[in-house]
Each structure stands twice: as C-alpha cells, then as structure tokens.
Chains A and B, each alone.
Chain A
Amino acid sequence: MKKSFKFEINKQLLIGVVTVFMGLIAGAVLMAFTGNNPFVGFSYLFRGGLMNVERIGNTLATATPLIFTGLSVAFAFKTGLFNIGASGQMLFGGLCATAVGLTFNMPRPLLLTVMMLAAMIGGGLWAFIPGLLKAKFNVHEVVSTIMMNYISLWVTYYTIQTFFVGAYDTESRAIPDSASLKTQWLTDLFNGSFVNIGLFLALAAVVIIAIILNKTVLGFELKAAGYNRFGAEYAGMKVNRNIVLSMVIAGVLAGLAGATYFVGYANTIQIGKMPTIGFDGIAVALLGANSPYGVLAGSIFFGILHSGKGFMNAMTSIPPEIGDTIIATIIYFAATSILIERAINTVRKKLKGDK
C-alpha cells in the first residue's frame, strides 16, 4: 500500500524533471540556431546562478518572492480557484509594506513585523474581493482577479506619486535600511548578495501550507470544495465561506511576495509596472504540480535561470532572452503535462511488455 503512494510522488517528480529537460532541449536548439554551443551556454547559465556563494545568494533572493506567488497560485488551485491576481495582490501588499516602512519610526523588529502584517492584510484584501464576488454572485475569479491587477497597478501609481514620490518620478522613495528585510549578517554570509530574511519566511510558508493542506481539518474542507464543490456542499461544508477563505490565504501569500520583493530584494517600487513574478508564480505552481515542496523546487530552478542568464549573456554571445525562452517553454510543457504523463505511461507499458 505504501509503495503505490510513493509511486505517485515519483511520477509527479518524473513529470517535472521531463518538463524541465524538454525546456532545456528547446533552449539548446535555440542556442545552436543562433550559432552557439549549447553546452557552453548552459555551463555559463548554471554557473551564473550557482558558481559562488554570492550568486547562490542572488538565486535564492530571486526565488524568494517566487516561492510566495507560486504557493499563492498552488494553494488557490488546490482549492479549485485560479488565482491570476497574484501580481496585483503582490503589488498592493508591497505598497502597504512600503507605506508603513516610509511612514513609521519604530524599533526594527516591531517595524518589520508591522510591515509584514500590512503586506499580508493588503494582499489578503485584494484577494478577498474576488473571493466574495465568486461566493456571492458566482463572478469567475479569473476575470475579477485580472481586473484587480489593474486596480492595484493604478492605485499604487497614484499613491506613490501623491505621497511617496522618490528621486525620480517613476519610483517611490527608497525605504530606510532599518525597514529592509536585508540583514547584515545574512548579506555578509552570502558575500554581499541580495538575499534577505524573506527567504526564511518563504521556507516557513512552504512548510505551513503543506501542513494546512495535508494534515488539517481546514485543508480537508478547502480541498474538498476545490475537487468537488457539490460533494462538499452535500457533506455540509460551508462552500462559500471556504472560497473566500481560500482566496484570502492565497492573497496573504502573494502579499508577502510583495514584501519580500519590494522591501527585501529591492528598496523602491517602480510605478506603472506590473511585477511579472505574479505570473511566474503560475508557472512555478504548474511545474511543481501544485505541491508546496514542488513549488519550492520550481522556484529555485527559476531563480537559477533568472540570475544566470545575465552571466551567460556576458560570457557568450547568446542573448539573455534565451533564458526567458527556456522558462516559457518549460511553462508550455508544464501546462501540457498530461501529454508527458501519457508518454511516460506508454513507455512504462512498453518496458513492461518487453519483459
């Protein structure tokens, strides 16, 4: 009995690995097409992400907000909701954290705590509205979360221009060092990289979300509503409340992504720009088969690609867009993972038949 459980996990892992591999092959073909040696290209790409502690730190720093948005999308998805609004939730959460950081003067631990809470509330609020619309009026969350993205974008634009405008018109004032998640000892440990304590929050979130989904009464209810709304209703669960709750939890996670990005990785908010990390979260969730630990692995892999592509470009004549193309191809294969699953099944059957 245990055995088959293990088999399932292995299969998901195998699908993920095949997906990544196919993406890399597509990248290799493109590199060869642009007249470069793929092996050289890949070696620089991965060295760019991993060759020393500073670069490893940067990879982790890039992965941190991705872990949060990936968890946000994956959690919503497990409970039957498609959260396309991670970007907007993240931006608004980041704005809330920045606003607190720029406004209040408090001892650092307290300030950071309040900032994180503000980010969570902001992100949660941004997802609460689509959740409520879905529960009360059956408004599809894909439409409403996309709309909330735009509202978030322009609310941030207005707020920053009006209250927090910085050295340039296009960005906010930089937050003081005391309001940043960047911490000296961690920066020193990783030789001055961007890595910040948001990473620990992200790792904790992975564990907490995994526990909620797999071990708690709440997770049992939320997943039931996601898998079969009617079945959950039949069993007496409060499906509408659960929809709102799922969205809020997803929003809280995305809000934390905003905090780790805007007051950790960066120290300003650029206005008029939707953070793409929210959409990359969808990719990470797909690649990780919506499992929290899968999201963690996927985020780190994407972190390597993102932080390695610049190095690859500097050392070879391969355009950095190849890195993005690889990511896009992986998303493509992850989205069609059912085909990969079928292919794996066919191969397995053939192997069995030959024996």
Chain B
Amino acid sequence: MDYVVEMQNIRKEFPGIVANDDVSVNLKKGEIHALLGENGAGKSTLMSILFGLYKPDRGLIKVNGKEVIINNPNQANELGIGMVHQHFKLVHNFTVTENIILGLEPKHGLTLNLKAASKKIHELSEKYKLDVNPNALIENISVGMQQRVEILKMLYRNAEILIFDEPTAVLTPQEILELMKIMKNLTEEGKSILLITHKLKEIKAAADRCTVIRRGKVIGTVDVADTTTAQMAEMMVGRVVSFTVDKKEQEAGDVVLDIQKLSAMGNHGVMGLNDFSLQVRTGEIVGVAGVDGNGQTELVEALTGLRKIESGSVILDGIDISKSTIRDRIESGMAHIPEDRHKHGLILDYSLEENMVLEIYNKPPYSKNGFLKKDEIRKHADKIIKDFDVRSGEGPITITRSMSGGNQQKAIVGREVDHNPNLLIAVQPTRGLDVGSIEYIHKRLVEQRDSGKGVLLISLELDEVLDLSDRIAIINHGELVGLVKASETNENEVGLMMAGVGK
C-alpha cells in the first residue's frame, strides 16, 4: 500500500505535558483521513509538526516514502503539504486572486501578471467545482466562499496533501454539506486529506479512515464505514457516552426575560443587533441559532451589560435593567456563561478558588470589612469542585491557566449555576469540549430548566440548540428571522433560516 504521508512514533513534549506520545499516522493516497480527539488530545500538535510549525522530539516523517525533515511551513509547501487554518488568513480588501498569489506573485517585468494568475485560479476552480470568482473582493463573499479561497490557495501551490483544521466550525449546515462534496471532489482528483475534527457526524459523512487520539496516544485507526459513531466516541473518551439529552415535557411558566426591540451597535460601527425581541420563561430553554457573527455577541453583551444598548429595553423579572450596571444585573438574578472563557470567564492567573468568587468576593461571608476571608472562599470553591466534578492538579489553589478547557468550563458553569440565577445565559457552553464534558454540561443546563429557571442558550452548534431547546429563535444579520418550537422543526428548516431564508 502506498502512503503519501507516514508519521512514525512521533513524540512531542511541552513543559509539563506530553502532547504526542509515540503517535503514528499513515495517510493513503486519495483518502480522507480524520484525526479525532478531545480538546488537548494532541491532534493540532501533530498537524503542526507535519506543517513544520513544531519540531518533534522523536520519530520520523516520510512523504511519498522518503524521509524528510520539515523545519518550517515553506518546506511543507515545497513537499506539497498545505493547510486550511481554522481562522482564515486573508486580506479583506484584496481580491481572491490577489490573496491567492500573495507570497509568490507572478511578475511581468516590474509589474504583476494578475491576468495569468486569475486564469489559472479560474481553471482550478472549474476543475474542483469550487465556483469561486477570482476577481471578487474577500469582504464581499461569504465565509464559506472564503474557505474555498483558502483551499484554492493550497491548490495554487500544487499541494497534494491537504490539512483541514476544524473546517466546519464557521459554516452553516448547508455549507458543511457543500464542503464535504468539495473534499470528495479533491480526493477523486488524487489529493489526500487530513481532517482534524471532534464532530463525529462529519467523520461519518466524509472520512474513509479515522485515527483516534486520546491524551497524546493513538487509540486506534478504524475504517469509518465499519465503525459506529458511538464506538468512535467511546474510543475518544474512554467510556460509553450518551448522546441523547434526557428532557421531560414541561409547561413553561412566567416570563423571566423580556427583550423588547433591542438594538445594539456592532464592532464595525454598523448595527449588529436590530430590533430584536424575544421572551424567555421560567422552566424553559430558549436556543438562539445562527451562523457565527450574525449578532449573537451583540445580543449577549447588550443583555449582560457589556455593551451599550442603542434602543429598546431588557426586562428581567419585570424590572427594566436596560441601564443597569453589570453588577446590578448579576445581583438581580442574571448569570452568564460567557462565550470566551479565557477573555471573559476567568482571570487565568488567579487560582481556581479566587475565580469561584469572582462576582461575589465583596459580599459576606467571603469578605469582611474589606478583607478577604480565605477560609470561606476555600469552602465555597471546594463545594463547586465537588458538585461539578472540576478536576485540576492542585484543587482550589490551582492556577486556572494550567487547567484543561473542559474543567475550566465546568468551573465556570458551576460558579454561575451556584449563584442560583433566575436567568442563565449560556453562550457556547460546550465550545471546544470533549463529548464527556458536553454531556455533563448539557445535563446541568437541563437541570436548571427543570428546577424552574429560565435558560437562554446561544450556540453555533446547531445540534446542541436542537437537542436542548424548548423553543428556538433564529438570528440572521442581527435580526430575528424565525421562532419555532424545537419539537416541530428539524435541522434543515433551521439551517435554511440561519442562511437568511425566512420562514
């Protein structure tokens, strides 16, 4: 059997952890090979080694049967290895062509030969059915299109081995299907693909083989056709995982949160949220579905007080809090699991116990006469650690920076739920987490609902919104485009609305 890439017995150590431990992965010509693993399992490290960003401590890499040493991404490119990063690296006010030729501009004397490049890009686009207009400006095309430009960039550089790093995170369900088709087209033309992901559904839909990595070690490589998603999940986590969320039917009660015609400015000086109205009742989970960057951030920040409201009002338990400070909102019963746990959720250089009192440190019993009461703070942290199964190296005094993403998130969820809020705003509560932690956090959110609290769930994972919510609000370009009952809709309908096709 011909392998285009063989990575053998790779070991890479970072201070304190072994990211890759004796990892071997072989990529066949013309296959889509998935790398599956929890966050921090070591898949990105492995791909960074292949792309020349890290040097392995041990092990060897063969490309087309020949042993190679890859010191930097340029050498990787020369060997025909290309990578589509999770965050695109495009110049927004350049055209597609200009972006693609960046770094290897075809010259015509002293001027650029854009025409020739544009023609080549057009041909490539035709050949792989990418449907990209070489002369369009990046800022005018959709995120899905931008991703195709990244793919074209690799093809233009004659890449034979393509690495996709979590490519579907920014796409709508429909765009995901198209991407899968494009990947199939690419392999049919003889390219080979390494796909990094933690989404089992996509592996099942697109990949030929799958290598599962857990805690830096390879658990096994399986043929996707012969393996169920449950089996792969078990390999990834190391135990049986339940995918369905247990949720009883329940009547929703009074209105907890009443958002009335809310508008807020976006980051680029245009309205990011426009005339948005929505109600959340006690005992229900309302999900907000939408493609990334369609006003979710503005909505959350306007609700929690991190962003100024332009017009409209936010009413919590019958009281208008539109102009309240963040602290007042917290004290009147709003809790917030933030989208970015590193930016907002934690003071990473503080210990776990300090982070657990981040919003209540100035209240008794955690402080008295302006002095912190460390004993009480420790007790509080111990309780959350126990109740929410937060695992860390040194318990309450662990510096949160050194904790895994899943445990950081569990700690935040624990802290917010412990405030016993009437309204819990959960934004991307399981982003980047492994299935084990996801299962746990989902259970906790449903518990909040069952105990008669209101939950507003904002997530880019459509499956999560569909599984957890009682009602689903769809947001597009900062506007509410649809409000449906979760029991009466499906992925396709919501997906279309997310893309802006209204109901």
Kindly list chain B residues whose C-beta atoms are within 8 Å of the C-beta of A236: 325-330, 359
Kindly list chain A residues whose C-beta atoms are within 8 Å of the C-beta of B371: 215-217
With A4-B394, A217-B370, A236-B359 known as contacts, the answer to whether A345 contacts B15 (CB < 8 A) is yes
Tell me how far the C-beta of A183 lies from the nearest C-beta in chain B, rounded to whole angstroms: 33
Q: Is A31 interfacial (CB-CB < 8 Å)?
A: no
Q: Is B350 interfacial (CB-CB < 8 Å)?
A: yes
Q: Is B345 interfacial (CB-CB < 8 Å)?
A: yes
Kindly list chain B residues whose C-beta atoms are within 8 Å of the C-beta of A345: 15
For window 95-154 of B, CB contacts with A under 8 Å fall at: none
Beyond A4-B394, A220-B354, A236-B330, 7 extra complex contacts between A and B, CB < 8 Å: A221-B362, A223-B350, A228-B346, A230-B344, A231-B344, A233-B344, A236-B359
Kindly list chain A residues whose C-beta atoms are within 8 Å of the C-beta of B346: 228, 231
CA distance A235 to B419 in the complex (A): 13
Q: Is B170 interfacial (CB-CB < 8 Å)?
A: no
Q: Per-residue 0/1 for B389-431: is the Cβ within 8 Å of any A Cβ (1 yes, 0 no)?
A: 0000011010000000000000000000000000000000000
CA distance A277 to B131 in the complex (A): 66
Kindly list chain A residues whose C-beta atoms are within 8 Å of the C-beta of B268: none
CA distance A233 to B15 in the complex (A): 32
Q: Is B348 interfacial (CB-CB < 8 Å)?
A: yes
Closest 7 CB pairs of A and B: A236-B327, A234-B344, A236-B326, A235-B358, A227-B349, A235-B359, A231-B347
B361 in contact with A230 (CB, 8 Å): no
Kindly list chain A residues whose C-beta atoms are within 8 Å of the C-beta of B348: 227-228
Residues of B within 8 A of A (CB): 15, 304, 306, 325-330, 336, 338, 343-350, 354, 358-359, 361-362, 367, 370-372, 394-395, 397
Chain A interface helix/strand/loop/mixed: helix
Q: Is A106 interfacial (CB-CB < 8 Å)?
A: no
Kindly list chain A residues whose C-beta atoms are within 8 Å of the C-beta of B358: 224, 231, 235
> Which of these, A1, A5, A218, A228, contacts B370 with CB under 8 Å?
A218
Interface residue tally for chain A (C-beta within 8 Å): 22
A224 in contact with B359 (CB, 8 Å): no
Please name 5 pairs of A and B residues whose Cβ atoms are closer than 8 Å in the assembled complex, sorted by A.
A220-B372, A227-B350, A228-B349, A233-B344, A235-B359
Q: Is A203 interfacial (CB-CB < 8 Å)?
A: no
Q: Is A335 interfacial (CB-CB < 8 Å)?
A: no
Tell me how far the C-beta of A111 lies from the nearest C-beta in chain B, rounded to whole angstroms: 31
> Which of these, A1, A221, A232, A234, contacts B336 with CB under 8 Å?
A234
For window 230-263 of A, CB contacts with B under 8 Å fall at: 230-237
* CB closest chain-B residue, reference A231: B347
A216 in contact with B370 (CB, 8 Å): yes
B372 in contact with A215 (CB, 8 Å): yes
Tell me how far the C-beta of A211 lies from the nearest C-beta in chain B, rounded to whole angstroms: 9
A216 in contact with B372 (CB, 8 Å): yes
Tell me how far the C-beta of B267 lies from the nearest C-beta in chain A, rounded to whole angstroms: 14
B343 in contact with A217 (CB, 8 Å): no
A230 in contact with B395 (CB, 8 Å): no
Quick one: which of B325, B329, B348, B358 has the most chain A CB within 10 A?
A: B358
With A217-B367, A217-B372 known as contacts, the answer to whether A233 contacts B394 (CB < 8 A) is no
* CB closest chain-B residue, reference A239: B326
Kindly list chain A residues whose C-beta atoms are within 8 Å of the C-beta of B347: 224, 227-228, 231-232
Quick one: which of B347, B354, B367, B370 has the most chain A CB within 10 A?
A: B347
Tell me how far the C-beta of B399 lies from the nearest C-beta in chain A, rounded to whole angstroms: 9
For window 306-355 of A, CB contacts with B under 8 Å fall at: 345
With A216-B372, A217-B362, A236-B359 known as contacts, the answer to whether A231 contacts B345 (CB < 8 A) is yes
Tell me how far the C-beta of A168 lies from the nearest C-beta in chain B, rounded to whole angstroms: 49
CA distance A218 to B394 in the complex (A): 26
Tell me how far the C-beta of A189 lies from the nearest C-beta in chain B, rounded to whole angstroms: 36
Tell me how far the C-beta of A112 lies from the nearest C-beta in chain B, rounded to whole angstroms: 28
Tell me how far the C-beta of B54 lies from the nearest C-beta in chain A, rounded to whole angstroms: 17
CA distance A237 to B344 in the complex (A): 12
Kindly list chain B residues whose C-beta atoms are within 8 Å of the C-beta of A223: 350
